[in-house]
Structure 1
Amino acid sequence: MKYFLEDEQANITTITVTLRVQILKQKFSQSLGLPFKELLPSSVIEQALSELKIRYYRRLFDPIVTLWVFLSQVLDTDKSCHNAVSKVIAYLAEIGVEIPSTDTSAYCQARARLPEELLENLFSQAAQNIEEKVTIEHLWCGRNVKVIDGSTVSMPDIVDNQSCYPQPKSQKDGCGFPIAKIGVIFSLATGAAIALCIDVLNTHDIKLARKLYKFLNPLDILLGDRAFCAYADLVTLLKLECDAVFRKHQARKTSMRQGKVVGDCDKLVTWYKPKKCPKGLSLDEFDALPQTITVREIYYYIVIPGFRTERVSLITTLLDKATYSTLDIVGLYGQRWDVELDLRHLKTTLGMDVLRCKTSSMVRKEIYVYLLAYNLLRSLMWSAGTTYGTPPLRLSIHRHSPSFK
C-alpha cells in the first residue's frame, strides 16, 4: 500500500507539473513580450534539442519554458530573476492552479542547464530565417552586404567573470568591472545579427573579424571601418569569393598620385605584401600571401561649416567601375552607420551594455539570448514592414514601440 500511495502521489505531481507547463506555454505564446508562437515556436526549440541530442526531465522549467522566460527577462525593464519568476507565478495564479515557490533557484538552475550551443544555434537560425525572405530589390547592386563592427559589454564583478574577462589593467582591483569584447556581423538588408564572437577586452577587432569570416557566403560584401582594413584580410576575403569595402587604415600612406585613374577621386592601386609578418598571422599564413594585390581607392571630403574638412579614403576590392560606381560605393559606406545604430539598440535600447549573470558561461548565454531576442524583433519588424509597405529598417526598436507591447 505504501508503494501504491507513492506511485499515486508521483502521478499527481506529474499531472500538476504538466498542467502548469501547458499553461505557461500558452501564456508565453500569446501575450508576453513577443509572439513566441509565431517567431520561436516550441517545435523549433524541440527540433534544435533533438539535433543536439539533448534530453531533459519533465519539470516546470523545461528548456522551452526556461528559454521563453529568459527571452522575456532580457526584454523587460526589470531584468531580475525575481521579476521573471514573479510573472510566471502571476500567470499560474490567474488560472487558479497550484503555484510554485517564489524562490528563483529553480529558474536559475534551469537557465544554467541550457546549453550554449543550443542558444547559438537558435540565434543563427533566427537570422537565417530573416535572410531567406530577402529578395533582389533589398540587395545592393544585386549583392548581399554584411556589416562588421566590435563593441564591449560589462558584467558583475565576480571572481569567475574577472578571470575570464578581466577589467582594464588601467583600473585598480575593486574599482572596475569585467569587460568582454564582442564582434558582430549584421545584415545590411535586414538589420539582423548574423554572427557573434566573444573574447577578452584587449582583443583587436581584426582578430575578432578573422573568427567571423567563416559565417560569410560567397559573393557577400563585407563593410567595415579602418580597423579591418589589412592586407591579409583583403586576401582572405577574396579567397572566400567575397569582396570588401573598408575605410583605409591611417597607417597606410598610399599616394593617390600613383595608380590607374578610373574616375574622379577613384583609382586602381597596387598594394604590396608587408615586409614583416603582422601580429595575429602565423609564418605559414604570411608566406602564403601573394606579393601584390590590386585594390580600388576612392576618396571624398566631408565639409561641415565650422569644422575642419575631413578627407575619407575607402579601399575596396570591387574593381569594376561600370558595375559599382564611385557614388554607389561612397553611398554604401555611408550606410555603415546603420551598424552603429544596431549596436546601440542592442546595448542601450535592449540593455545589453550591462549584463547581469555571475559566471562566464552564463554571461555568454546571456549575450546569445539578447541577440536571439534582437533577431526575433527584427523578424517581427520585417513582417510588419513588408505587410504595410514600410521599409523594415525604418521601424524603431525603442522600448515604447509596438514591438514591446
Structure 2
Amino acid sequence: MTLRVQILKDKFSQSLGLPFKELLPSSVIEQALSELKIRYYRRLFDPIVTLWAFLSQVLDPDKSCHNAVSKAIAYLAEQGVEIPSSDTSAYCQARSRLPEKFLENLFSQVGKSLEEKVEIEHLWCGRNVKVIDGSTVSMPDTLDNQKAYPQPSTQASGCGFPIAKIGVIFSLATGAAIALCIDTLNTHDIKLARNLYQFLNPLDILLGDRAFCAYADLVSIKNRNCDAVFRKHQARKTTMRKGKIIGSSDKLVTWQKPKKCPKGLSKDEFNALPSTITVREIYYYIVVPGFRTEQVSLITTLLDTTAYSTLDIVGLYGQRWDVELNLRHLKTTLGMDILRCKTPSMIRK
C-alpha cells in the first residue's frame, strides 16, 4: 500500500499541466491536515492523493470519477505493482471525507503564496488591487441540491435546475482567486461582498462595478484600512454643482448617511455608521462612432490626487473587465458553469 501511494504522489506531482509541485506540494497539504488535526487511515486514496486526483478531475475535459480512477490505475500499471479495483466507490467516499474547511484553508494558502511572489513593479501605485464580482453556477437536479440552492422562482417546479450564486475576489496582480463565497440565487451581490471583505489585507484596493457602491460598504472598507474604486450606483444622480472641484472631471463630494437602515444591515451596524463620508467622484465619457456617448462616473476613497491621479484611476477601472474574463475562464474553459456533484457539500468543494 505504501509503495502504491508513493507512486501516485510522485506521478501527480510531476504531471505536466498540473502545477501541484509548485503551488500545492504534499508538504503544504500535510501541514493543513496537521493544523486541523485530521487523522486518516493508510489507504490508497489518502487525503493527498484524493485531493490531487480531484483537482486533475476538475481540470480534465472528461470529469467523470471513472476517468479519475482510470488515471490512477494507469499510473500504477506503469510501475508493475498490484492494480486496485476499477470501482469508483473508494475514490468517491474519499472525496466526501475531505472536510470543506481543509479545502478552504488550502485555497487561501495558494492565493497567499502567489501574492508573496509579486514584485513591486507589478503593483498599482505600489498597492495590491483586488477585483470583486458575482456569478452563478448550475448543478444536477437532486432533492438535496434543490433544497440548498433552489431553482429560480419564475420556473415551474420540475422544469429547472438548482442554481447557486457565487461571489469571488481575484488578485489583479496574479489573476488568482483569493476568496469565494456561495449562496442562493436570490442573494444580492452586495451581501456576498460583505462576506468577502474579511479576506482583504490592509492597504488593499477593492475594484468593483456599481452593484457594490453603497455607503455602508465604503465605510466598512475604509475601516479595514483599505480603499475602494467602484462605478457610481445608478440610483445616485451625478451633478457638478455639489462638491469641491480638484481637477478636470474630478471632485470631492460629501455623502450623507442614509435616513433609513438599508436591507442587509442590522440596527447596531447602521447606528455605528458615521454621519458623513468624503469620497472622490471622477467622470469621463466613452465615445464610439455610431453609438450614443456614455458617461461613466467612478466613486473612490483614494482622495490623494498627487499619489492617485485622475488618469491612473480611470485606467485602473478599465482593468475591472479582468474579473469578467477570469470568471468566464473558470466557468467556460474549465467547464465549471454546470457543476456535476449531487450533494451541496460536494458542490461547494
- The yes-or-no answer on 1:249 pairing with 2:210 is no
SS at match of 2:111: helix
What is residue 321 of structure 1 aligned with on the other side?
A: 305
Q: Distance in 1 between matches of 2:237 and 2:261?
A: 18
Q: Distance in 1 between matches of 2:274 and 2:13?
A: 54
Change (3 A) 1:35 1:320: closer
1:289 equivalent in structure 2:
273
Aligned partners of 1:153 and 1:182 also within 8 Å: yes
Aligned equivalents of 1:249, 1:349: Cα separation in 2: 31
Aligned residue identity for 1:220 = D
Alignment of 1:235-274 (within 5 A): 235-274=219-258
Matched, 1:227 2:211: yes
The alignment status of 1:170 with 2:154, answered yes or no, reads: yes
1:167-206 to structure 2, matched below 5 A, reads: 167-206=151-190
Cα distance between partner residues in 2 of 1:234 and 1:38: 37
CA RMSD across the alignment: 1.0
1:335 has 2:319 as partner: yes
1:36 Cα shift? 2.1
* Residues 154 and 179 in structure 1, CA contact (< 8 A), matched pair in contact too: yes
Aligned residue identity for 1:64: I
Residue ranges of structure 1 left out of the alignment (5+ in a row): 1-16, 366-405
| Cα separation, 1, equivalents of 2:16 and 2:46 | 18
- Alpha-carbon separation, structure 2, partners of 1:37 and 1:330: 39
Is the Cα contact below 8 Å between 1:245 and 1:315 reproduced in 2? yes
CA distance in 1, matches of 2:31, 2:291: 56
Is the contact made by 1:32 and 1:72 (CA closer than 8 Å) also made in structure 2?
no
Maintained 8 Å contact 1:160/1:359: yes
8 Å Cα contact 1:229/1:247 also seen in 2: yes
Q: 1:139 aligns with which of 123, 144, 151?
A: 123
* Deviation of 1:198 (Å): 0.8
The DSSP-based 3-state class of the residue aligned with 1:61 is coil
Secondary structure of residue in 1 paired with 2:191: helix
User: In structure 2, what is the Cα distance between the partners aligned to 1:60 and 1:292?
Assistant: 60
Determine helix, strand or coil for the equivalent of 2:299.
strand
Task: Find out whether 1:150 has 2:137 as its counterpart.
Answer: no
CA contact (8 A) 1:271 1:295 kept: yes
Q: Distance in 2 between matches of 1:26 and 1:270?
A: 60
1:42 aligns with 2:26: yes
Residues 34-113 of structure 1: pairs in structure 2 closer than 5 A: 34-113=18-97
AA aligned to 2:222 is L
User: Alpha-carbon deviations, 1:251-283, whole Å to 9, x = none?
Assistant: 012422211101111111111111111000111
TM-score by length of 2: 0.98
- CA 1:145 to 1:35, structure 2 compared with 1: closer, same or farther past 3 Å? closer
Is the 1:33–1:75 contact (alpha carbons within 8 Å) kept by the matching residues of 2?
Answer: no
CA deviation profile, 1:58-104 (whole Å, cap 9, x unmatched): 11100011001001000000000011111111111222222111111
Tell me how far 1:357 sits from its aligned partner: 0.6
Which letter does structure 1 place at the counterpart of 2:83? I
Counterpart secondary structure, 1:198: strand
For 2:181, give the aligned amino acid. Answer: C
SS of 2:282's equivalent in the other structure is strand
What residue identity is the alignment partner of 2:51?
Answer: L
**Residue 25 (structure 1) shift:** 1.2
Alignment match, 2:263: 279
User: In terms of Rg, which structure is larger?
Assistant: 1
Q: Report the CA distance between 1:37 and its aligned residue.
A: 2.6
Residues 145 and 223, structure 1, Cα contact 8 Å, conserved in 2: yes
Structure 2: how far apart are the matches of 1:239 and 1:91?
52
Measured in 2, the distance between the counterparts of 1:30 and 1:287 equals: 55
Give unpaired runs (5+ residues) of structure 2. none
Deviation at 1:32, TM superposition (A): 5.3
Seq. identity, % = 85
Pairwise CA distance, 1:218? 1.1
**Aligned residue in 2 for 1:401:** none
After TM superposition, give the deviation of residue 35 of structure 1 in Å: 4.0
1:119 equivalenced with 2:97 (yes/no): no
Other-structure match for 2:2: 18
Structure 1 stretches of 4+ moved >4 Å: none
Deviations 1:145-187 (A, max 9, x none): 1111001111110110110011100111221111111111111
TM-score, normalised to structure 1, is: 0.85
How far did 1:39 drift? Answer: 2.6
Determine if the alignment matches structure 1 residue 303 to structure 2 residue 253. no
2:175 corresponds to which letter in structure 1? Answer: G
